[in-house]
Chain A
Amino acid sequence: KAGVTQTPRYLIKTRGQQVTLSCSPISGHRSVSWYQQTPGQGLQFLFEYFSETQRNKGNFPGRFSGRQFSNSRSEMNVSTLELGDSALYLCASRATGGLMNTEAFFGQGTRLTVV
Chain B
Amino acid sequence: KNQVEQSPQSLIILEGKNCTLQCNYTVSPFSNLRWYKQDTGRGPVSLTIMTFSENTKSNGRYTATLDADTKQSSLHITASQLSDSASYICVVSGGDKIIFGKGTRLHILP
Contact = CB atoms under 8 A, between A and B. Distances in A.
Given A42-B101, A42-B102, A45-B98, A100 B43 contact: no
B44 A90 contact: yes
Contact of A108 (B42, B46, B93): B42
Residue among B94, B98, B100, B102 with most chain A CB within 10 A: B98
A106 interface: yes
A101 interface: yes
A78 interface: no
Given A4-B43, A90-B44, A107-B43, A100 B100 contact: no
A109 B100 contact: no
A43 B89 contact: yes
Nearest to B91: A43
A104 interface: yes
Nearest to A6: B43
Nearest to B93: A100
Nearest to B6: A42
A104 B96 CA distance: 16
A106 B89 contact: no
B98 A99 contact: yes
Contacts of A4: 43
Interface in B37-69: 41-46, 49
What 8 A-B pairs come out closest when comparing CB atoms?
A106-B43, A42-B102, A43-B100, A100-B93, A100-B31, A106-B44, A107-B43, A108-B42
5 contacts: A42-B103, A100-B31, A103-B46, A106-B44, A106-B45
